Structure 1
């Protein structure tokens, strides 16, 4: 009878034991850690790239433009009329966003004023002796406002004048006297004006609206349309 059976069984057991021993030796080793502790100073170690700081977010929406006031067109020309209390006449000449005004009672009170036409169509004109005129264009063919001349304050409504009506002025020397004249020719042909001789006021003689011709103390002068 052969004895190879028990011998083979013993040999097989020995091989299994050696295999299990080798397996335990392999799995018992500690894995190497890949964690690297940063230095105490807080600076990145060599080979470590510092992440860049995030840039502040910027708005992609453009700023809204500042609102602008709409421009009120004021037709150039002369606006004439009488004050609401019918005590005086008023004329305003507008050109290139500038304005000149004349307020006159036809006897002894008058004032020349000037200033700018604002974007909203308003006028704030000033003259000598604290004279002031505040007005506003209404409907592009009319100016309403208030004139303060001397001790009086007068409201008015002026319409845009047509040919021959308007505002005129003359400056000359006659017989050694200084002559200064102002005239408002209203749409109905009425004339209101003052003529000063060396500063002394008196009612002005009538002019020819077509030519501006006027006779003062026997001498013919020319009154010319007033523009800013």
Structure 2
């Protein structure tokens, strides 16, 4: 019995040691797994620094498109309540206009953008119109009076014509509006001034409106709008 005592004691100690070792092996992976899960859930310092706050970012600016300009267009029509004519021509956003009823007349210049036309003349004279659907529709104001108009698009020889010269030290200028009549032929109106004095003006040749004419003993050479629009800007 005395010999078995130490053996039993040693065996029990070995069993106890093995049991503690197994428990240690089982506990260690669990601790490591828990630590790994905690590290995966927490964002890294690099991620925290790199992720910007969406609330702090400026809102993207909307894209701005340049206003559209009509490259080329010519309009002509009657002024309601007046009986006169109005002609408007546009070249790459630049615009000129002319109103005449045989007595009063006015030249205008300005711009067109996105179908909105605004022209200014001498004093308070002005033209405002909306362009679209093959016509210009708006208002013309001259000499303290205002009339509406609707002017469809026109093609040459219909349109606006102008001529200038220097006579006896004074500027001689003349303007015409020529419109093709639906019944054939042409309707036209114009006015000529030597300085501030109005002088008689001849009719243009409807099918050849740029042919020379004589005004107050002076030969004038009418130009279509392409020949003088830049001079008026």
Residues 63-84 of structure 1: per-residue CA shift (max 9 Å, x gap) = 5852647847x47242111112
Matched, 1:78 2:74: yes
Partner of 1:13: helix, strand, or coil? helix
- CA separation in 2, counterparts of 1:79 and 1:184? 10
Matched, 1:99 2:91: no
Matched, 1:123 2:123: no
- CA separation in 2, counterparts of 1:200 and 1:157? 31
Displacement of 1:205: 2.5
Residues 79-113 of structure 1: per-residue CA shift (max 9 Å, x gap) = 11111213321011122222110112211x22211
Residues 159 and 53 of structure 1: is their aligned pair in 2 closer, same or farther, counting only changes over 3 Å?
closer
Q: Is the 8 A contact 1:185 1:191 kept in 2?
A: yes
Higher relative contact order (CA 8 A, sep 6+): 1
Displacement of 1:195: 0.9
Q: Is the 8 A contact 1:142 1:159 kept in 2?
A: yes
Q: CA RMSD in A?
A: 3.3
Deviates more, 1:204-213 or 1:183-192: 204-213
Residues 103-160 of structure 1: per-residue CA shift (max 9 Å, x gap) = 12211x2221112221x22211112213221112221x21111111220111111122
Residue 40 of structure 2: aligned partner:
none
Residues 221 and 57 of structure 1: is their aligned pair in 2 closer, same or farther, counting only changes over 3 Å?
same
Residue 127 of structure 2: aligned partner:
133
Gap runs ≥5 in structure 1 = 1-8, 32-49
Residues 20 and 219 of structure 1: is their aligned pair in 2 closer, same or farther, counting only changes over 3 Å?
closer
- CA separation in 2, counterparts of 1:201 and 1:142? 31
More helix by share: 2
Residues 19 and 174 of structure 1: is their aligned pair in 2 closer, same or farther, counting only changes over 3 Å?
closer
TM-score by structure 2 length? 0.69
Gap runs ≥5 in structure 2 = 25-43
Partner of 2:7: helix, strand, or coil? helix
Residues 75 and 52 of structure 1: is their aligned pair in 2 closer, same or farther, counting only changes over 3 Å?
closer
- CA separation in 2, counterparts of 1:177 and 1:13? 146
Matched, 1:56 2:55: no
